[in-house]
Each structure stands twice: as structure tokens, then as C-alpha cells.
Amino acid sequence: MKKILSILTLSTAVSFAAQAEVRINGFANLIGGLTSSDDTLYGYDDNISFSEESVFAIQLSGDINDKMTATGQLVARGVNDYDAKFEWAYISYQASDNIKVSAGRLRQPFFRYSASQDVGYSYHWIAPPPAVYDIGVSNIDGVKVEYSTYAGDWEYNLQFSYGHLEADNEQGILKGDNAFLFAAEATYEWFKIRAMVEPITITLINSDIDALLGNLTALGLDGLRSDLDLVEESGIFAGIGVEIDTYDWFVLAEFTEASVDESFFQPWQSYYVSAGFRTGKWTPSITFESFDSVNELKYLDQVAVLPAELQPAVGGITAGLQIAGQRKFDVASLAVRYDLDTNIALKADISKYADDLNELADATLLRVAVNYVF
């Protein structure tokens, strides 16, 4: 069922686009990086690579009528061997001057730069801070309603979305049902503030985790397995962001947190603070980001009352699943952007990654990038 809405939307878009004037634009991010000797970070090592974060995309849009627009975005990522796929495919209906309704595969407005997260030209970094932005999922199959208005010198934007999301990442296949997101943003000249909250029902499919939990079932510990598994559990993701941009200089920050009611999932908190200034075509900046999912282990009280011969094995599973999800790190970065033309930016940055749980994972990364939009 999750693919039906996107397929219908794309089919409708193609049908109507044949009758409408199609607008074509796109972007390219050519990003190369390497770490210091023997370090690894974000997929990079001490051999320069241009595949980990490079992205090329084409977006097509066409007016179906004076109120409806069909949009599709085809994206090719270097990390996926540039295997192109539709990441966006939706139809929008401008119900009034203030209200727009969209349906299909859409970008979720989790963050300040969610809508342009892949468009490197739209921000001063080479990539948005991973501690906050790298959550493994960015799109939703569903419906989104946007409301925009003005009051005095303030501009307000409200967004509501509902649907299903799915991502295949290193943890397994993550599915989110009944994902209802509410985001609010207020802007006053050089000041912007936004907040977001998303209650969601989460399921994680991972054969290795299922095998471990199966051992608990074999021991007759169905209750403990139910507490630990991540199957249709209620969770919440929330964030807040502020930005001051006078054009000459800017400061922005975002904070997020996520939790799940009952499972081995480790709640996390993350944030970044970034500042810079513009002088001619140059934009130097500094960013500090942090991620923390280290929490007190749960369910060990259930292990403590088990027969002594079961405690080592069951305790190992109970604690091991939770410890595997714990991470705590900080990243400090210096970056510079040079606007070569009105649609081309050159960038370079150096980042120092410090892992609080494993000093051997500490790394230094140097990256360069060319961002292009058309």
C-alpha cells in the first residue's frame, strides 16, 4: 500500500505533464574528501573519494491547471553508484492564497533546510551537520497541508503532514506508520524561529536482532522480548531552531530529540550551532555539533530475578542491544564558501570528530565541493 500513492501521483504527473509546459531545473554537488592517516569518517578514509556525498538531480514540474502542479525529482547519489530514482513525486493544489495541499512522496519538514537538504548551493556548509540532519529518513508517502500568512512585520508558516515513511539503513529497515508532523515557523526580517513535533508508530526489521530476541522466546521470556523489540511502538521526534541573519553575519542553531516508549531503542538528543559572515564573495563559518544517545540501561531488573544460570545470557542480550545503539560524539568544523557565479559555489571545510565512547574513532576530515544549480 505504501507505494500506491506515489505510483498514482507519478502516473498522473506524467499524464498531465504531457499537456502542460514542463519546467526543468536541477542541481549538482560534487564533493570530495579524505581523512587523516588511518581515520574513517562519514564513509571517507585516507584515500580521496568523490562518491560518498556527491549528488546530481533533475526536477520536473508542470502546471496541470491554474491551481494544480505536478512535480517529480530524480536523484542520483554517488554512494548508490549514481543509480537514479524518484525521491519526490507529488501533486500540489493551491486551495487559496494561504493554503496549499500536496499529496504523493514528499520531503518532511523536519529541519530548517529540509526542503533544500540536498541542494548544497542553498547553505554555507558542504553538507548540513550530520549530528542533527542524518536521521536516516527524509521523505514521506502521504499528504501535506501548508498555511502561510502575514501579521504586521511577521511572516508565519504552518505545515501539517500525515503518512508513512520507510528507510533502509545500517540499522535495518525502519518503518514509520501514522506519522503526523506539525511544524511552525515565524520570521521577522532577520530573525527566524521554528519548531516541529512528530508522533509516530515505529517498527524496525533486522534479522540479526530478531534472531537475538528469538533466544528470549525460546527461554520462555516473551514478556522481556516484547519490552525489547521495536515493533509498532509509539515514538516521538521533536525539534526547535533559531536563526539570525543580517546578511553581513549570521548565527543559527537547531536542537532535536527522539524517543520510543518501550524497546531497546536509545533516546537521543542532538544539536548544532553555526556562525559566519559574508564579505564580498567569501563566506567563512564555524560549526559545532553534538549527538548523545547514552542512557541508563532498561529492563535489567527483569534479568536480576531470573535463575542465576540464565542471567549471563539474557543479561548479555538485554544490555547488548541497548549498548549497541549508544553513541556520543562532538564535531567542530571550519568552512569557507566562495560564490564563483550566481549559480556556482566552491567550498572547503575541515572537521574534527571526537567520539566520547571510543577514542579510536576520533578523526579529522578534509572536504572540498562544487555546488551548481540550474
Q: Could you read off the pLDDT of 269-311 as tens digits, one per residue? A: 999 999 999 999 999 999 999 999 999 999 999 999 999 999 9
Q: What is the pLDDT of residues 198-253, one digit of tens each?
A: 999 999 999 999 998 999 999 999 999 999 999 999 999 999 999 999 999 999 99
User: Could you tell me where the beta strands, DSSP code E, fall in the chain?
Assistant: 22-35, 55-63, 68-77, 85-94, 99-107, 139-151, 154-169, 172-188, 191-205, 233-245, 249-260, 268-277, 282-292, 328-341, 344-355, 363-373
Distance CA 106, CA 24 (A): 18
pLDDT at position 361: 95
Output phi, psi for 13, to 5 deg.
-60, -45
Per-residue pLDDT band for 4 (boundaries 50, 70, 90) equals very low
Distance CA 237, CA 213 (A): 26
| Residue 259, amino acid | S
Contact 325, 297 (CB under 8 A): no
Q: What is the pLDDT of residues 133-162, one digit of tens each?
A: 999 899 999 999 999 999 999 999 999 999
Mean pLDDT over 90-113 rounds to 97
Residue 48, phi-psi category: left (phi > 0), alpha (psi -120 to 50), beta (remainder): beta
Supply the CATH number for residue 316's domain: 2.40.160.10
What range defines the domain where residue 201 resides?
A: 4-373
The total number of structural domains that make up the chain: 1
Helix/strand/coil (H, E, C) string of 233-267?
EEEEEEEEEEEEECCCEEEEEEEEEEEECCCCCCC
Grid coordinates given for 225: 522480548
Q: Please give the torsion angle defined by the CA atoms of residues 33, 37, 43 and 48, in that order, rounded to the nearest 10 degrees.
A: 30
- Using the predicted structure, report yes or no on whether residue 10 has a pLDDT greater than 60: no
Output phi, psi for 280, to 5 deg.
65, -125
Q: What is the pLDDT of residues 19-74, one digit of tens each?
A: 558 999 999 999 999 999 889 999 999 999 999 999 999 999 999 999 999 999 99
**pTM recorded for the entire structure:** 0.91
pLDDT at position 37: 84
pLDDT at position 14: 46
pLDDT at position 72: 97
Distance CA 213, CA 191 (A): 49
Q: What is the pLDDT of residues 329-345, one digit of tens each?
A: 999 999 999 999 999 99
- Using the predicted structure, report yes or no on whether residue 11 has a pLDDT greater than 90: no
pLDDT at position 6: 43
pLDDT at position 19: 53
Considering only residues 6 and 356, tell me which one the structure prediction assigns the higher pLDDT.
356
pLDDT at position 12: 47
- Using the predicted structure, report yes or no on whether residue 119 has a pLDDT greater than 50: yes
Distance CA 171, CA 268 (A): 15
pLDDT at position 306: 93
